[in-house]
Amino acid sequence: MHILLAITGDPKAQRWIDAMQAALPDARFSVWDAAGPALDADYAVVWHPPAALFTRETGLRAVFNIGAGVDGLLSVPTLPAELPVIRLEDAGMSVQMAEYTLHALWEGARDFAAYRGLQASGEWKVLPVPRRDQWTVGVLGLGQVGRKVAEAVAGFGYPTAGWSRTPREIPDIETFSGQDGLPAFLARTKVLVNVLPLTPDTRDVLNASLFAQLPKGAHLINVGRGEHLVDDDLLAALDSGQLARATLDVFRTEPLPKDHAFWRHPAITVTPHTAARTLRAESVAQIVGKIRRLQAGESVGGQVERGRGY
Ligand code: NDP
Ligand code: OXD
């Protein structure tokens, strides 16, 4: 069995190979080399792979994406339509996303942003007791990540809802689905958390019309993808007061260009696509387990439905 790694942006590909080799001692591993020959690889393990990989390696049985979101892989024009695409399922990312969301939520709900301002002016001032029932949280996307985020937030007693494509039932979470369910979901949501996958249906979903359906002074946390957000609509909503704060981890262009208005906006917090890091040990264990099952002719979870884009 030959496994090819093409992990764009990670100079430590050898560490992935070492970890996979330890679990699959009989397998052969290679790192993608644009100038190299065809390897007749059986599996590819990738992140934003080059288009040439799929024209050269035509015998692949499956491609593993070392992230939850497959938008960067599905957009590769040479990706064969029938090639199974398998993404990471949680693999330690959901708990990180929950931590990130709670931290961003508490900027407002526990007044941390306000206290920073008071510290800057040397003021000892206790703000009114926070009312948890007024900090309604709504999570767009109730998959591997969104569900964990919603459950974590609900666990702290915030009234929590979630929105998905198909109807879902989750204890302690008010659930909404489909376009018909969106207006009622937005109307009850003060803090909107986006953990949708990027698909043709969800691109630009965070726009002026959506912001207008949130209660005035709402907060946005975007940990999905930059292409979900219409940047100018966010700036306009913050300037008008329709939105009060935004915490953004993902951007249309990454790294976020130095001259982008988000960097300096007083109501925006920027982090460099780090809400959840891919954890090598967890990811390798998951991928190796799936390769073993595929080799045994069994089915595996996390297979992307190409028609719906996630
Ligand atoms: P899943 O595929 O497990 O879940 C996707 C969820 O989104 C499902 O609940 C699905 O609905 C819902 N959904 C998809 N399309 C629509 C739609 N058109 N309308 C309403 N709901 C929709 O994905 P994950 O939870 O694993 O990951 C979600 C995304 O989070 C990733 O694609 C990635 O973009 C982002 N991410 C970002 C990270 C970061 O560091 N910033 C790290 C990890 C992930 P249904 O349940 O009906 O299928
Ligand atoms: C992912 C990501 O999709 O890191 O896993 O953004």
Percent of the chain having pLDDT more than 90?
A: 97
Q: Which of these, 53, 48, 80, lies nearest to 65 by C-alpha position? A: 48
Distance 16 CA to ligand 1 centre (A): 25
**pLDDT at residue 159, rounded to an integer:** 98
Q: Atom of ligand 1 at shortest distance to CA of 195?
A: 30
Residue 10 has pLDDT above 80, yes or no: no
Using one digit for the tens of pLDDT, what is the confidence trace for 238-249?
999 999 999 999
Q: What is the mean pLDDT of the chain?
A: 97
Looking up tokens 């990471």 gives: 88
Q: Which of these, 84, 12, 73, lies nearest to 48 by C-alpha position? A: 73
Active-site residues, by number, are 225, 273
Q: Cis link prior to 255 (omega < 30° from 0)?
A: yes
> In sequence order, what E strands does the chain have?
2-7, 28-31, 43-47, 62-65, 85-86, 137-140, 160-164, 174-177, 191-194, 218-222, 243-248, 268-270
Confidence tier at 13 by pLDDT (50, 70, 90): confident
**pLDDT at residue 19, rounded to an integer:** 93
Q: What pTM value is reported for the model?
A: 0.96
Confidence tier at 8 by pLDDT (50, 70, 90): confident
- The ligand 1 site (C-beta within 6 Å) comprises 68-69, 93, 141-146, 163-166, 168, 195-199, 201-202, 223-225, 249-250, 273, 275-276, 310
Residue 24 has pLDDT above 90, yes or no: yes
Distance 284 CA to ligand 1 centre (A): 21
Using one digit for the tens of pLDDT, what is the confidence trace for 49-101?
999 999 999 999 999 999 999 999 999 999 999 999 999 999 999 999 999 99
Using one digit for the tens of pLDDT, what is the confidence trace for 247-272?
999 999 999 999 999 999 999 999 99
**pLDDT at residue 9, rounded to an integer:** 72
Using one digit for the tens of pLDDT, what is the confidence trace for 156-196?
999 999 999 999 999 999 999 999 999 999 999 999 999 99
